[in-house]
Chain A
Amino acid sequence: MLIDNEKFIALLSDNSGIEKEKVEKYLEELISEMKTSFDEGEGYEVEGFGIFSKLGSNILFIPSEELETEINYKYVGMEPIELPGGQEQQETKEEEENPIQGILDGGGTEEREEYEDPFAELFNEAEEHEKSKQEEESLDLTEDEIEAVVEEEIESEDAEEIVAESPVEEDIDDLEESLKDIFGEEESNEESDEEIEAAEEEESIPGPKEWGIDAHKEEEQEDVFSGLLGDEAEETELIDEDDIFATEDELVDEEDVFETEEKSTEEEIIEEEGEEEIDFSALEDDGAEDDFEDPFESLEEEDDNDFVPVVTNVSSGKTSKKEESTEAEDPKESKRTEKKSKTPKNPRERKKGAPVFLYMVLGLVVLGGAGYLLAYFGVVNIEGITPSSTPTQIVQNTPPVVEPESIPAQTTETEEEQPNNTIPEIEETTSNQIDAGTENTPQNLSENTGGDFAQAQDNDIAPLVADEKAPGEVGIITPLNGEENAEPYGLNGTATTAGNNGYTIVLYTLSRKSGADAQFEKLSGDGFRVIIKEKPSTEFGTLYRVSIGQFRTLADAAIAAEKVDAQILGNYIITKI
């Protein structure tokens, strides 16, 4: 749409409040000033709007920042977005590739290391070292060193060392032979040494770490059975296992073993082993330190202890003597703890004991809940729980107090109200299980309530009414039309006594009588049949309930309420008068 000069001048005069003629004059002045400034070779700035400048024969307009921003208000918050593309795209590609490479290169090794560690802890580090070449090298080193250790130990001529080594070799035949040699004659040690060396040479082909694995497996199986069968199984097992598990009587022998181990490790310290073996020591130490875990770990610890004579000495080469001495002590303690943990089997016994107690508690809770529910629903009548038992007694007591006093007070209304009172009495006598609330409502009807507070305060109001002994007019303040010809029910006109047994539309419940009277005058002026009823409340004192209409049934009231103007009605409630 084009705003031509005339329209613009009209708009300008409207906005500025300046007359049109002046506006035209000012506009001409403005243009002439611009031209003079252009002639002088200068620009002309209208503050807050922009700069006009002449370039050649053309006039340029440079809007001010304010104008630019105000024009673009609807695009506020929209800022340039860098898109993936061009060099940026390439850069992003490179950036994307890098993390992938990082994952493939660095992350892969990290994962391998991560995988290695748990296995090393669980299975005495044997399997994982087969994965990498470095680890294979370390295996070779350990092979040589273990052989060296074995030779040194054999030189020390302690038969018990051989016994300790024999489970590592894991060939039961060899074990038995070595055991016979050990417990037979010392002279046969040399032969046994030769045999052991031969066996080790044979087994060094698959790798010494596999000893640990296989020996581990066999011992695990044995230990599992022994754990299931108890101590007897251990006793009946081979003699070498007795030595391995080191019953407390035999600990002296093991101390000898550890002494020889220390000797061997001292020699090894001089030789200086590879760095990777330090890892073994750390791993084995970790394994040995995990004393307070599952029985399976205790089994593994036994294995560690079994390996102590051979492997730990080799691996713990760089550890100090003190640490080794502590290691030598640790296995004793761990063995004791293992025996303790095996024999009593505490966790299983506890698990058996706890559920029984829980089941008993659960059963009691269920029984109690069921009893309460039965009582609550009236299947079993228990005083204090069954809801119908106590309130009915109270209700039955109250009506006789109310009735004789209300009847003499009222002459006209009692006729209509008596049926109201008699009906609930019948109900009360016939059925004991009627809700207290429903039984109280007829009372309230006979008195002065039944309004919108009745739902929440029935129980509070009922004794109040009984105490107050009922106001004389049943709470209805408004004048009633006592004529017999008057229609008892209806929305308009004046309230009738005959219609007081019906329903009404409650508009307000006010705390001041003056306000209720004002509403009465206003609504009756509109032609409505207005009823103001006093409503005692424990919390708010006496309230005045303003309602319109008298209806025979609830449905009539609802239908009538729909016809009433919503502004008059507001939030209305239909209730008994």
Chain B
Amino acid sequence: MTNDFLKAFGLTIRDQIIMKNSVEIKGLGTFKAEHTSQQQERKGDGKLVMLPPKDSIEFKADMEE
């Protein structure tokens, strides 16, 4: 296992997530892109804030273990 492999590992998953694809890695789990649309949020001090849309990466582990 080399650094190049680890870099490529991260890059590949990232690219697929950006393309809204979910990546399944056997023995580890599934990476999935989640989109959060813009939403209002009331903060603790009472301020109402409109949050911008956001993409996030979700990981669901394989339950084989």
Contact = CB atoms under 8 A, between A and B. Distances in A.
Interface string B1-42: 110111111111111111111111111110101000010111
Contact of B29 (A30, A59, A71): A59
B50 A34 contact: no
B54 to A, nearest CB: 6
24 contacts: A3-B16, A11-B16, A12-B8, A12-B9, A15-B8, A16-B4, A16-B8, A16-B9, A17-B4, A33-B1, A46-B10, A48-B7, A59-B61, A61-B57, A68-B56, A71-B14, A71-B18, A71-B57, A75-B52, A75-B53, A75-B54, A79-B52, A83-B40, A86-B46
Interface string A1-43: 1111100100110011110001100111111011100000000
Contacts of A18: 2, 4-5, 8
Contact of A46 (B9, B23, B57): B9
A78 B46 contact: no
Contact of B48 (A12, A28, A85): A85
Interface string A58-72: 111101000110111
A328 B21 CA distance: 97
Contacts of A58: 61
A233 B21 CA distance: 103
A6 to B, nearest CB: 9
Residue among B5, B13, B40, B59 with the highest chain A CB neighbour number at 10 A: B5
Contacts of A61: 29, 31, 57-59
Nearest to B24: A4
Interface string A494-521: 0000000000000000000000000000
Contact of A49 (B9, B52, B54, B58): B9
A232 B15 CA distance: 103
A46 B6 contact: yes
Nearest to B18: A71
Given A16-B7, A23-B5, A59-B29, A70 B14 contact: yes
B7 to A, nearest CB: 7
B48 to A, nearest CB: 4
Contacts of A72: 54-55
B4 A1 contact: no
A80 B56 contact: no
A387 B56 CA distance: 78
A1 B20 contact: yes
Contacts of B63: 57
Contacts of A468: none
Given A34-B28, A84-B48, 13 more contacts: A1-B19, A2-B24, A18-B5, A27-B9, A27-B25, A30-B1, A61-B59, A63-B57, A78-B53, A80-B41, A83-B48, A86-B42, A86-B46
Contacts of B5: 12, 16, 18, 22-23, 26, 30
Nearest to B58: A61
Contacts of B19: 1
Interface residues of B, number: 52
Contacts, number: 146
Contacts of A539: none
A396 B31 CA distance: 91
Contact of B2 (A26, A52, A73): A26
A11 B14 CA distance: 12
A12 B12 contact: yes
Contacts of B49: 80-83
A89 B33 CA distance: 36
A17 B29 CA distance: 24
Contacts of A86: 42, 46-48
Nearest to A16: B8
A83 B16 contact: no
Contacts of A15: 8, 11-12, 15
A88 interface: yes
Contact of A47 (B6, B13, B50): B6
A83 B55 contact: no
B1 A67 contact: no
A5 B26 contact: yes
A30 B9 contact: yes
A87 interface: yes
A2 B55 contact: no
A59 B59 contact: yes
Kindly list the 7 A-B residue pairs having the minimum CB-CB distance in the complex, ordered from nearest: A16-B8, A61-B59, A87-B46, A49-B10, A78-B52, A59-B61, A85-B48
B24 A3 contact: yes
Nearest to A30: B1
A12 B61 CA distance: 20
A30 B4 CA distance: 13
Contacts of A8: 12-13, 16, 23-25
B55 A5 contact: no
